[in-house]
Structure 1
Amino acid sequence: MAEAELLKIRLEILRRLSMKERQQKNVKSMLMNYLQLDEQLQQSRRSRSISVNGEASSGSTNDQLAIMKEEMANVYRMKSKNDQDLIDANRKLADSESRFHLVQSQRDKLKKEVGVMTEKMRLLEEEVAELKDTNCAINNERVALVATCSFLTEKKKQLENERFQLMNKIRDLQEKSAELMNAEIVLQEERAQLRIREQIARATADLNLGDEKAVPTCASPDDDEFMMTDVLPSEVKFKMTAHEGEVRDVEWMSDDMFATAGSDAKVRVWRVSQNKIDASKVSTLTGCLGPINRLDYDSQRQVILASSNDKTCRLWNVESQRLLSTFSGHTDKVASARLFQSHNVVSGSADRTIKQWDIGSMRCLRSYLVGSTVFDIVTKCGSSQCSFISSHFDKKVRFWDARTAESMHSVELGQKVSSLDTSLDGLQVLASSQDDTLSLIDVRTYGIIHLYSAEQYKTSCDSTRAIFSSTGEFVLAGSSNSSVYIWNTKTTKLEKVVKTAREDSNQIMSLAWNPSGRGLLACDRQKTCTLWR
């Protein structure tokens, strides 16, 4: 390509030089004519001088002079014409030279461009060669990948077949597990009824022997008999380290047993000693893969339910310490889960959904799309067995009927609602919100009955829990300054403030009032659990 361009440039230069030579040919002929005329003029002068000196008699001098003048005039006319032609030729020559120089400069510029283009063409040829090599390598890799893909596709088909077989086995095992669990639940119900009959028999025997025994006039404040009213805590009985991380929730299981849930992904069951000065660990329930947020306990079936940050909730049998069910299907952490109706579980998650599960088959029966992060859920509210209540990030408390996909009603509070608790009769719900207030809501009318607040009370965090006392006489909540605030339910008066630690940086996470009416448990972020009586 470069040689062809050089050949074209050379031919163009030769063409322009031949053109210039043709243009200068006329100038050369004119100069030759001019020289010939000059030579003729000199010869005529010499001949006239000779003829005047040697041949004075040959003709008339005047005639010869006239002829000579005429010839001289012709010569001068030709000379002036030749001079003008010479000037025009010089002008054309100058123009030709300027054009020649311009063509030379263009030629030099084109030579430089040709050099640059040649270098660029060389680089492009090298790049094309590299791309060909790369393309060849990629093609070889593609062939290898196609072979690998075919192998993996065949392997995937085999794994799918194995998975299908395993799913069938899992389904069979789940059915067997459901049958075993149903049998165990029936057995537990029979045991509970047997215990009730024994208690009734003992109570009947005590009544029959009532005349023979003296009736005590007053009860000791440290006795464990059932209290008809709630007694405000007055002193710390013990303070213990319950978990390896912060203690997220605490739940009384009986008068002397309670369970704690921690960020170490464990549920621990404790028994309070007879003198109430310490507690011993009974068992540890494992299986969760993330921090546990909420606990729920069923005393009749002896099962405990935990919601976890690993996007699941799990159900254990407390006596056998066996994991009965795992409910997985949420796409974010499960903030709260509650036992619902006889064989169901309802759970709320940060994925903005609420799900209802069947305990036996571990299937999701229904999903409720809320549109806001769920912080807490409570059941056993109102007269209907199909109702539950949820609290949310969008400041709303929603009331649900499990048979419908939409909430029946919602109550909006001042800030996001972190926790819920229902009264003993299920007709009132206590909601704790991030505006540092507690709201008492009537379940039947959806109206706010009372608001509870205090000057130093600050809501701890999104998972803090406010509760009713055992008979509903008081409402209480933990604060971010290591204190528990207790209000009178009806008068909204702040009855008492108890402090769990000397430092003010310890946040109270959850509270539980003993079902006997005497005893308050509080757990915090410093791995500890404290009992007041």
Structure 2
Amino acid sequence: LLETKTNEMMQLQQERLVLINKIRDLNEQHANLFNTEEANDGEVYDVLWLSTEMFASGGSDKRVRLWRVDHPVSILCCQSTLVGCNHSVTRLDFDPESRLLLGASNDNGVRLWNVDNQRLMTSFMGHTDKVSSARFLSSTQVVSGSNDRLIKIWDVRSQRCIRSVFPGSTILDITGIKKGVATFTSGHFDRKLRFWDSCFSTFLVEKLIVYHLFCIDGIHLLCSTRDDTLSLLDVRKYQTVHIYSAEHYRTSTDLSRCVLSPLMAYCAAGFTFSFPMLKYITLPFSRHAVFSLNWNPSGHGLLSADKQKTVCFWK
């Protein structure tokens, strides 16, 4: 267990909120809040960069909004609003090849929009309970997990479900894996992390109390767990590389996200952890639970979304 020591902490007054300083710079005075915006008419459950200048947000107002960051002053401008969901949007994913944006919803469905013309392309309906997570496995396949304890594989071209798997436990999150035997991983309410192969059969189960999963390079898998730690796994060996903890860190909710920076210098989830030095940083701003985080693909800049409608852009 790798644990932050008291004399290594860099801490400000507000301890609950997430955020970030510049890559390779642990001095808190360099962490700047560039802008905030009331992103949705309700809780913002997920934010996702679509490019280095454009991102999407979704939440309890049933809508997905597309935003652009205008440089150099980093003003957040809402470009368009995507509709089609009948309940909260819980999870977003994007396929840059097809230019399709994926949204999981509490109305038991998954939606696909084209971000170029803002059209709703299709709705995948078939789950009997809230869809907690949905991801692109490829440009032509989508995987979704639900509170109905089913994992479904959808074909984008035929717009049909081509496979259903019943792991027997509520799915909290799903993420794709690009390298190794497994094609995707699912975290469950029964405290297990399941790896799935191309035949959609589980071949390995890890006993982790998982809230959220994040895989950035197809090799390293970051898990936010119910014991208020972050676990970093190597999916090639299916072994835990590190467990990160901090004295005041608490996982906000089942919806809380964790992320790795593009250069693998930091992981973030409520606090920001530095891999090389095992320090964590807190920055003061919001007093509300942070639901989602997403690092800019360039490595410079972090989005955070919270319970009170707000998206913050940190750089």
TM-score, length-scaled by structure 1: 0.53
Look up the equivalent residue of 2:260 and give its one-letter code: F
* Alignment of structure 1 residues 453-492 onto 2, 5 Å: 453-478=245-270, 485-491=271-277
Residues 442, 449 of structure 1: 8 Å contact kept: yes
Match of 1:69 in 2: none
Q: Which residue of 2 aligns with 1:431?
A: 223
Any idea what the Cα deviations from partners look like across 1:443-485, whole Å, max 9, x if unmatched?
012111100111111000001100101121111102xxxxxx1
Task: Kindly indicate whether the alpha-carbon contact (under 8 Å) linking 2:67 and 2:76 is maintained by their aligned counterparts in 1.
Answer: yes
The residue number in structure 1 matching 2:190 is 394
Question: Which whole-Å CA distance do the structure 2 matches of 1:462 and 1:443 have between them?
Answer: 23
Give the deviation of 1:277 after TM superposition: 3.7
Q: Which stretch of the first structure deviates more once superposed, 245-254 or 232-241?
A: 232-241
1:403 equivalent to 2:188? Answer no
Q: Does 1:531 align with 2:308?
A: no
**CA–CA separation in structure 1 for the residues paired with 2:198 and 2:111:** 21
User: 1:507 touches 1:525 (CA, 8 Å); kept in 2?
Assistant: yes
Alpha-carbon deviations, 1:126-169, whole Å to 9, x = none? Answer: xxxxxxxxxxxxxxxxxxxxxxxxxxxxxxxxxxxxxxxxxxxx
Correspondence list, 1:300-319, <5 A: 300-319=97-116
1:326 aligns with 2:123: yes
Contact 1:312/1:327 (CA < 8 Å) preserved in 2? yes
Match of 2:73 in 1: 276
Q: How many angstroms apart in 2 are the aligned matches of 1:442 and 1:450?
A: 10
Supply the RMSD in Å over aligned alpha carbons.
1.5
Aligned to 1:93: none
CA 1:295–1:230: 2 relative to 1, 3 Å: farther
Of residues 266, 290, 293 in structure 1, which corresponds to 2:87?
A: 290
| Greater fraction of residues in helix | 1
User: CA, structure 1 residues 231+333, in 2 after alignment: closer, same or farther (shift >3 Å)?
Assistant: farther
The correspondence of residues 244-283 of structure 1 with structure 2, limited to 5 A, is 244-283=41-80
Which string of whole-angstrom CA distances, capped at 9 and with x for unpartnered residues, describes residues 309-328 of structure 1?
A: 00000000001111111111
Alpha-carbon distance in 1 for matches of 2:85, 2:155: 19
Distance 2:196 2:24 in 1: 31
Amino acid across the alignment from 2:70: S
Q: How far has the Cα of 1:396 moved from its partner?
A: 0.9
1:337 paired residue among 134, 145, 149: 134
Contact 2:180–2:235 (CA under 8 A) maintained in structure 1 = no
Higher RCO structure (Cα 8 Å, ≥6 apart): 2
Is the 8 Å Cα contact of residues 66 and 78 (structure 2) preserved in structure 1?
yes
Give the number of the structure whose residues are more often strand, by fraction: 2
Distance 2:165 2:158 in 1: 19
Report if aligned partners of 1:230, 1:471 keep a CA contact under 8 Å in 2: no
Contact 1:230–1:517 under 8 Å retained in 2: no
Distance in 2 (CA, whole Å) between partners of 1:444 and 1:362 is 32
Does residue 420 (structure 1) correspond to residue 213 (structure 2)? The answer is yes
Aligned match of 1:352 = 149
Q: Which whole-Å deviations, capped at 9, do the CAs of 1:53-80 have from their partners, x for residues lacking one?
A: xxxxxxxxxxxxxxxxxxxxxxxxxxxx
Q: Compute the displacement of 1:230 (Å).
A: 6.0
Amino acid at match of 2:204: H
Describe the superposition over 1:22-76 as per-residue Cα deviations: whole angstroms up to 9, x where unpaired.
xxxxxxxxxxxxxxxxxxxxxxxxxxxxxxxxxxxxxxxxxxxxxxxxxxxxxxx
Whichever residue aligns with residue 193 of structure 2, its letter is: V
What is residue 226 of structure 1 aligned with on the other side? none
TM-score of the superposition, structure 2-length normalised?
A: 0.88
- Matches of 2:276 and 2:214, distance apart in 1: 16
AA partner of residue 309 (structure 1): N
- Paired residue secondary structure (2:202): coil
- Whether the 8 Å CA contact 2:149–2:168 is kept in 1: the answer is yes
Residue-pair matches, total: 290
